[in-house]
Each structure stands twice: as C-alpha cells, then as structure tokens.
C-alpha cells in the first residue's frame, strides 16, 4: 500500500446509494511545479456485485447451513473509474483479476456475512488505491565528468595492481 494513503473509507447510504471512497490527501503527481493534488475515486454500489456462498473449512454443524462467505465481483471495464486507473488495474498481475477484466474477491475470514462483506470491500479499496497512484517516470541521468574520471582512474589502478601479480622475470 502506498505511503501517501491517508484515508480509505466506505461511506454507506449517501443519497440512496452506497459509495466506496478512496481518497489521497496531499498526493504528489507529476505536475510541472510538483504541486500537491487531492485524488478522490468513487465506486458506486451498483458496480460492485456481492453473492453469499458457504465458507470452507471447519465450523461444525453451522457451516453446512449458513452462507457466511462473500464473493465480490467488480467489472473493471464497465466501472466509472478513470481510464488510466482502469488500464493500470487491468495490467496488474493479480490472480484475483480474470481474463475478462473482472475482480473476484472471496472473503471468508469472519463468521458473519457483514464482516466478510466489509473485508471484501476493504481489499477492493486497497487494490484500487495501489493503482490510483500515478507512477513517477524515471529520468535517466548522465554521470558527471569527475565521476567518469574517478572511475577510469580506479580502473587503471586496479589494472596496474593485477599486472604486478604476474611471474617475476629476470
């Protein structure tokens, strides 16, 4: 997760819909003056699909009759995310992203369905937050003249030392 992440929040029931919010405060992007910007991404509840399934593992008699695990499905291509974020999300080499561009997250760590739903949303938020950060392009730099000179001097010194290691001739 990026260091600059200040706030990830799941805002419930705002204006008759659930909204997933990913906010970055004082997030530096590649602007000419290195200005700080605030990036807020919203994922509407209609874009996230939940389905309850039975959890795996031990759990006694209750595990066979309660569907407490959650499958979260999020279609990247049909989402309202910005195009550059979509491209970086699709380029992630993550086993949770299918070939069709659908994020599938299975949450079954908790016994209650609500906690598993919150856990799945948190993992989706973290995935989106990682790709929301604009990667800084690396600018290749040239070595200075003095560093080039020093490098060549040390090479000649090492070469002289190694030439002295040969057999002694009379």
Pick 25 or 71 by higher pLDDT.
71
- pLDDT-derived band at 6, boundaries 50, 70, 90: very low
| Dihedral sign for Cα atoms in the order 72, 76, 79, 81 | positive
pLDDT at residue number 24: 40
What mean pLDDT is reported for the chain?
77
The verdict on pTM exceeding 0.75 is: no
Nearest to 129 by CA among 40, 35, 46, 45: 40
Q: Which CATH number fits domain 7-132: 3.30.160.20, 3.30.1490.480, 1.10.150.120, 3.30.1280.10?
A: 3.30.160.20
Report the run of H or E that residue 124 belongs to, with start and end: helix 113-132
pLDDT at residue number 151: 97
Pick 74 or 134 by higher pLDDT.
74
Q: What is the CA radius of gyration of the chain?
A: 27
Instruction: Write down the domain spans for the chain.
Output: 7-132
Nearest to 116 by CA among 56, 70, 48, 67: 70
Mean pLDDT of all residues in 115-120: 91
pLDDT at residue number 59: 64
Question: Is-contact 9 20, C-beta < 8 A?
Answer: no
Mean pLDDT of all residues in 112-130: 89
Length of the chain: 170
């Amino acid at each position: 997760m990026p260091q600059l992440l200040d706030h990830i929040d799941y805002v419930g029931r705002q204006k008759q819909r659930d909204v997933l919010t990913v906010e970055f405060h004082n997030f530096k992007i590649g602007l000419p003056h290195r200005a700080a910007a605030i990036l807020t991404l919203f994922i509407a509840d209609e874009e996230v699909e939940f389905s309850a399934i039975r959890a795996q593992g031990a759990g006694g008699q209750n595990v066979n009759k309660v569907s407490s695990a959650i499958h979260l499905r999020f279609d990247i291509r049909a989402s309202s995310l910005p195009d550059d974020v979509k491209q970086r999300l699709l380029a992630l080499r993550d086993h949770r992203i299918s070939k069709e561009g659908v994020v599938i997250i299975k949450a079954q760590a908790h016994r209650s369905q609500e906690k598993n739903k919150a856990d799945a949303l948190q993992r989706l938020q973290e995935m989106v937050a990682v790709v929301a950060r604009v990667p800084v392009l690396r600018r290749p730099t040239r070595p200075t003249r003095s560093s080039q000179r020093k490098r060549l001097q040390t090479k000649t010194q090492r070469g002289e030392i190694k030439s002295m290691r040969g057999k002694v001739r009379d």
